[in-house]
C-alpha cells in the first residue's frame, strides 16, 4: 500500500493550482500559505487517526482552501470580476483606477504624506494644491478645486454663488441623475431657490434673459447625461448662456457630469461634452465627476474663475465635503496620466476598455472558449456579437458593439449559473440573455482570465 502521507501535495504544488489563482489576487500570499498548511495538517491528522485512508485530489484540496479563505474573510466588500461589459458600473464601484493612481492611494493609505504641508517652506499648505494644476490643465480653467463627488460639487457651488438667491434652470434640465440626485432637491439643500424657465423640450435664450432680475444668483446648466430629448427640441448652448451671464453680471455654472477629458466625439461618442468646452465658452464654473469618464477616484471637480473657486473654498461646507488623502493622491496621479494624450489610453482603464477593438475581444473570447470546451458540463459555448453600454449614467443610448462568450450549463438554469458565479471567490458578474450567461471581456482585465476560467469551471461543477 502507498503511504497516504506521500499522496498529499506540497504547499508549492497547491499554490500553483488554478483553483487558487483568484485567491492569489484577493488574499495575501502569507494567509494563503497558512490556510494551505492548516488544511494539510488537518488531512495528516485524519490519516494518523485512520479517518482518512486516501487523501482527496490536489484539486479538491485547493478548493477546500478557497472555501476556507472565503469563510476566513467575511468582508462585505470583495473583489469582483466584471464580465458585464458595463465599463462604469455604479454597483461595482464605477471606474477601476489606473495602476499609478491605485499605487498612489495605497502609499497614501499606509503612511504619512505632506497632505497639508509645503515641504520647501515648512509652512502649512492646502490639500487642494495637489490637484489644482491637473484640473486646470485638462479644463483650461484659471483655478480649480475638488470635493467628494460631483453631487457635493453642485451643492457647494450653488451655495457659494447663489445661497438666498434664485438659480435659473431650464425645465428640460431638471433631471434626476440616479441615486436620488435630483436637480430641484440639490438646489433646495444648497439654500438657493429654483427659478424654472422654458418647457421640457424647448428653452430659448430669451427665457433665461426674461427671468434675470435683482435676485438672480446664478444660471445653472445641467448636462442630461442619462437621458436624451428627441424631435422638436431646443436648448441654449453653454456659449450663449455664458454671454447672457456676462451681459447681466450673473455667473454661469455648467454641470457636465461625466467628465470627458479626451475627445470622445472622435472615438465615436458624439454627445459627450469635453470638460474644457464650458470653460472655453466662458462658463464661470464647470463641474464634473472623477470616477466616470475621467477614470479616477470618486471626486467632484470644480474648475473656473478664481473669484468663484476662492468663494467655494471659503464656504464652511468645504470642510464637510473635502477629499481624503487617498482620493487626493489617486486623483493627482489620474490627472497626471492625462499629460500624455496617447499613453493615457493605455494607462487609464476606462479609456482602454471603451476603445478596445472588437477583434481583440473576439480573440480573447475564442481563447476562453477553447479552454472551457475541454470541460464537461456545457450545453453551449459560443462566441457572439453583442451590444454593451458605458453605464454610470454616462452616454445613455450609446451602444458599443462588443463580443461575448455565451455559455449555458447542463442541468442548471442561467439564474443559478449566475448566482454561483456571484457567490464564488472571486465573485463574477455577467449578463443574462436568452437563457445564457454572457461574459464580455471588455471589462475583464487580461490578468483575470485564469481566475475567470476557474470561476466558471467551479460554477458549472456545482461548487461552491
Residues that bind ligand PLP (CB under 6 A): 149-151, 154, 177, 181, 222-223, 225, 255, 257-258, 289, 300, 393
What residues pair up with 304 in beta bridges, in sequence order? Answer: 143, 285
Taking the complex as a whole, the smallest distance from the CB of residue 389 to ligand PLP amounts, in Å, to: 15
In the complex with ligand PLP, the residue whose CB is nearer, 128 or 154, is: 154
Q: Which CB atom, from 177 or from 368, has the smaller least distance to ligand PLP? A: 177
Q: Which residue is nearest to ligand PLP (CB)?
A: 257
The least CB distance from residue 139 to ligand PLP, in Å, is: 16
For the CB of residue 225, give the shortest distance to ligand PLP in the complex, in Å.
4
First to last CA, the chain: 33
User: How many helices and strands (H and E) does the chain possess?
Assistant: 19, 15
CA dihedral sign of residues 352, 356, 360, 362: positive
**Cis ω before 114 (30° cut-off from 0):** no
Rounded to whole angstroms, the Cα distance separating 429 from 440 reads 10
Which one, 102 or 157, has the nearer CB to ligand PLP? Answer: 157
Within 10 angstroms of residue 79's Cβ, the number of other Cβ atoms is 15
As measured in angstroms, the least distance from the Cβ of 289 to ligand PLP is: 4
Nearer to ligand PLP, 300 or 441 (CB): 300
Q: How far is the CB of 392 from ligand PLP (least distance, A)?
A: 7
> What's the min distance (Å) between Cβ of 162 and ligand PLP?
17
Rounded alpha-carbon distances, angstroms, from residue 407 to 31, 62, 368: 33, 25, 11
Report the residue number, 150 or 425, with the smaller CB distance to ligand PLP. 150
- How many angstroms separate the CA atoms of 162 and 187, rounded? 10
CB closer to ligand PLP out of 147 and 197: 147
Reduced to 3 states (helix: H, G, I; strand: E, B; else coil), residue 385 is strand
Considering the complex, state which of residue 22 and residue 134 has its C-beta at the smaller distance from ligand PLP: 134
Q: Give min distance, CB of 317 to ligand PLP, in A.
A: 15
Cell representation of residue 170? 431650464
The single-letter DSSP state of residue 392 is: T
How is residue 252 written as a grid cell? 454661469
Residue 132: CB atoms within 10 A of its CB come to: 19
At 166 the three-state DSSP class reads strand
Amino acid at each position: 500500500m502507498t503511504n497516504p502521507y506521500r499522496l498529499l501535495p506540497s504547499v508549492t504544488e497547491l499554490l500553483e493550482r488554478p483553483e487558487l489563482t483568484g485567491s492569489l489576487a484577493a488574499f495575501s500570499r502569507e494567509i494563503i500559505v497558512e490556510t494551505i498548511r492548516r488544511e494539510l495538517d488537518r488531512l495528516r491528522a485524519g490519516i494518523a487517526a485512520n479517518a482518512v485512508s486516501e487523501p482527496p485530489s490536489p484539486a479538491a484540496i485547493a478548493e477546500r482552501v478557497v472555501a476556507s479563505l472565503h469563510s476566513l474573510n467575511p468582508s462585505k466588500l470583495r473583489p469582483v470580476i466584471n464580465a458585464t461589459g458595463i465599463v462604469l458600473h455604479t454597483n461595482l464601484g464605477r471606474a477601476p483606477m489606473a495602476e499609478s493612481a491605485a499605487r498612489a492611494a495605497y502609499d497614501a493609505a499606509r503612511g504619512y504624506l505632506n497632505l497639508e504641508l509645503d515641504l520647501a517652506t515648512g509652512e502649512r499648505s492646502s490639500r487642494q494644491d495637489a490637484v489644482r494644476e491637473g484640473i486646470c490643465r485638462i479644463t483650461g480653467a484659471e483655478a480649480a478645486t475638488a470635493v467628494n463627488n460631483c453631487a457635493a460639487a453642485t451643492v457647494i457651488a450653488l451655495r457659494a454663488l447663489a445661497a438666498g438667491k434664485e438659480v435659473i434652470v431650464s425645465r428640460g434640465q431638471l433631471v434626476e441623475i440616479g441615486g436620488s440626485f435630483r436637480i430641484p432637491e440639490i438646489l433646495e439643500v444648497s439654500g438657493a431657490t429654483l427659478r424654472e424657465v422654458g418647457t421640457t423640450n424647448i428653452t430659448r435664450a430669451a427665457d433665461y434673459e426674461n427671468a434675470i432680475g435683482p435676485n438672480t444668483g446664478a444660471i445653472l446648466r445641467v448636462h442630461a447625461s442619462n437621458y436624451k430629448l428627441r424631435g422638436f427640441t431646443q436648448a441654449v448652448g453653454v456659449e450663449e448662456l455664458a454671454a447672457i451671464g456676462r451681459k447681466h453680471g450673473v455667473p454661469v455654472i455648467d454641470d457636465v457630469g461625466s467628465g470627458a477629458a479626451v475627445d470622445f466625439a472622435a472615438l465615436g461618442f458624439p454627445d459627450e461634452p469635453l470638460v474644457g468646452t464650458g470653460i472655453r465658452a466662458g462658463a464661470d464654473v464647470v463641474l464634473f465627476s472623477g470616477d466616470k469618464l475621467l477614470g479616477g477616484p470618486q471626486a467632484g471637480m470644480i474648475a473656473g474663475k478664481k473669484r468663484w473657486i476662492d468663494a467655494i473654498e471659503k464656504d464652511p461646507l468645504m470642510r464637510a465635503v473635502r477629499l481624503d488623502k487617498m482620493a487626493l493622491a489617486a486623483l493627482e496621479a489620474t490627472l497626471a496620466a492625462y499629460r500624455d494624450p496617447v499613453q493615457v489610453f493605455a494607462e487609464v482603464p476606462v479609456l482602454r476598455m471603451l476603445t478596445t477593438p472588437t477583434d481583440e475581444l473576439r480573440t480573447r473570447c475564442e481563447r476562453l472558449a477553447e479552454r472551457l470546451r475541454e470541460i464537461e458540463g456545457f450545453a453551449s459555448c459560443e462566441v457572439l456579437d453583442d451590444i454593451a453600454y458605458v453605464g454610470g449614467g454616462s452616454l445613455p443610448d450609446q451602444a458599443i458593439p462588443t463580443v461575448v462568450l455565451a455559455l449555458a450549463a447542463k442541468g442548471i438554469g442561467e439564474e443559478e449559473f449566475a448566482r454561483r458565479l456571484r457567490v464564488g471567490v472571486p465573485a463574477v458578474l455577467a449578463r443574462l440573455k436568452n437563457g445564457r450567461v454572457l461574459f464580455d471581456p471588455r471589462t475583464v482585465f487580461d490578468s483575470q482570465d485564469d481566475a475567470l476560467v476557474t470561476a466558471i469551471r467551479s460554477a458549472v461543477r456545482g461548487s461552491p
